Amino acid sequence: MNNRELGENDMSETPLYYKTISQIAELLSSKKLSPVELTKVMLDRIEHHDGHLKSYATVTAEQAMAAAQQAEQEITAGNYRGPLHGVPIGVKDLLFTNGIRTMGGAYVMAAHIPKHDSTVVKKLKDSGAVILGKLNLTEGAMGGYHPEFDIPINPWNPDRWTGSSSSGSGVATAAGLCSGSIGSDTGGSIRFPSAACGIVGLKPTFGRVSRYGVLELALSMDHIGPMTRSVADAAIMLEVIAGSDTGDFSTLDEAIMLEVIAGSDIDDYLTLDDTVPTMYDEIHRGIQGVRIGFDENYATKDVDAELAEAVSNGVKLLQELGAEIIDVEVSDIDEYVLAWPTICSWEAVKAHVKCYPSHREHYGPWFQGWLDMGANVTPAEYEKAHKLRTACTKHFKRVFQDIDVLVCPSMSAPPHPITPEMLYGPMETRPAKFQRFTVPFNYNGTPTLSVPCGMNSEGLPLSIQFIGKDLSEPLLLQVGHAYESATTWHTLHPDV
């Protein structure tokens, strides 16, 4: 391997491909690093390693180099746009990219070439980010892959799960094949791959980030958010992609956001001309006096022993850092969680109405089974599921009555063993504990932040999750950054 592939330079012992966005931004803005050279390093690394890791569906090398050259010209001329200017980013292949195929992991969409960018991609381009390509995912952003497409490989262990839908985003970010990525989350698909691959994943408040130009799975629960190698990087990316959008009816407009945050501490973070908080500049505030809720039974029952211990140790550390730990009672929420497949599969059928059932035979066995299940959901079953969803949302409002943040694992165990046959289908149902820490926060749309919290005895990453109230991303990022700054787990990288 040459120096470019290794990312060798005399600026730091950390190779370029593993530097955080904030570190790269400092080098780019000071003109100590060229966006063109950085992009070449990343493209070379993709060429050397992604044949095995299979994180990219499409690499847009020519467009990436053109964007890097433009960024270099602008920065040289003194026109620096901000901390994503010249930074190489990967995008999950369900976000529209003008002139570049967007397949959503579905063979039936293999020839789909959008004529415009999604709002998130447009905002990334406007920030000066360099789009390296489109990242692989499960078919339809659900649980299994189409047999015609590759399954991304977990860089920590090739025989372990990569976390379902946003798996390509998790693998590419963890393995240094991009500086950060965009994922989506309908029932855990930012959190699962972040946890499985040992990175940071931020699922924003529902409506905080536009979904215009994004292929749907379940319209009432889909979220778009950043996946990064540090909490600070998640803050940088969220500031860029957040904001109201007339193209997406569900985004929170200025009046709604101001109403939500009125009377709360969140308004301290607002800029003068926008309702997107200045999250990156405020993450160093610390967590003195922050009320963090913890239910030991919820966080440890039916949870892998090493993971439960790591999360409990994380709570103790938060207390040492100044947080007030408050005992809360989450109780048994399994009945609520088990309503999720009914809602999600029914909404997935609506999202695929142009191709299902007319082209049912072109879907893979896993997602075909999911759509078939949704097509058989009766109005009474859907209504019952929504009542359970509403009850779950009310339940967690009570849980949050006297706390600012809830802490628990990101998933119930480290990444489990897998086989291609398991992931290609047919569809398998999952027990409630599998999504106990994710689904409730897709139901109510509250923000979550997943952060590495350890390694188990098999060398697999462990993850802690912080959950907040609506629009409390600035506080979540403060908590996550305080925890991250007191640990070293986020600095570990897989040996690819």
Max Cα separation, the chain?
A: 65
What 3-state class would DSSP assign to 179?
A: coil
- Contact in structure between 202 and 229 (CB atoms under 8 Å): no
92 beta partners: 135
- Contact in structure between 309 and 457 (CB atoms under 8 Å): no
Catalytic residue among 92, 123, 134, 469: 92
CA separation for the pair 1, 175 (Å, rounded): 16
CA dihedral (232, 235, 236, 237) positive or negative = positive
Catalytic residue among 165, 169, 244, 345: 165
The kind and range of the H/E element at 296 are helix 296-300
Q: For residue 194, indicate whether it is catalytic.
A: no
What 3-state class would DSSP assign to 291?
A: strand
Write out the two tokens for 114: 């959008």
DSSP summary character for residue 250: T
Pairing of strands 88-92, 130-135: parallel
Write out the two tokens for 431: 């027990």
What 3-state class would DSSP assign to 310?
A: helix
- Contact in structure between 288 and 322 (CB atoms under 8 Å): yes
- Contact in structure between 232 and 226 (CB atoms under 8 Å): no
Q: For residue 165, indicate whether it is catalytic.
A: yes
The kind and range of the H/E element at 374 are helix 365-375
What are the φ and ψ backbone dihedral angles of 77, each rounded to 5 degrees? -80, 0
- Contact in structure between 216 and 192 (CB atoms under 8 Å): no
- Contact in structure between 374 and 345 (CB atoms under 8 Å): yes
Residue 388's contacts (CB-CB under 8 Å, 6 or more residues apart) are: 335, 336, 339
Cα angle 107-426-141, degrees, rounded to a multiple of 5: 45
Q: For residue 122, indicate whether it is catalytic.
A: no
Catalytic residue among 164, 169, 179, 189: 189
Residue 338's contacts (CB-CB under 8 Å, 6 or more residues apart) are: 432
Return the amino acid letter for 160: R
State the catalytic residues.
92, 165, 189
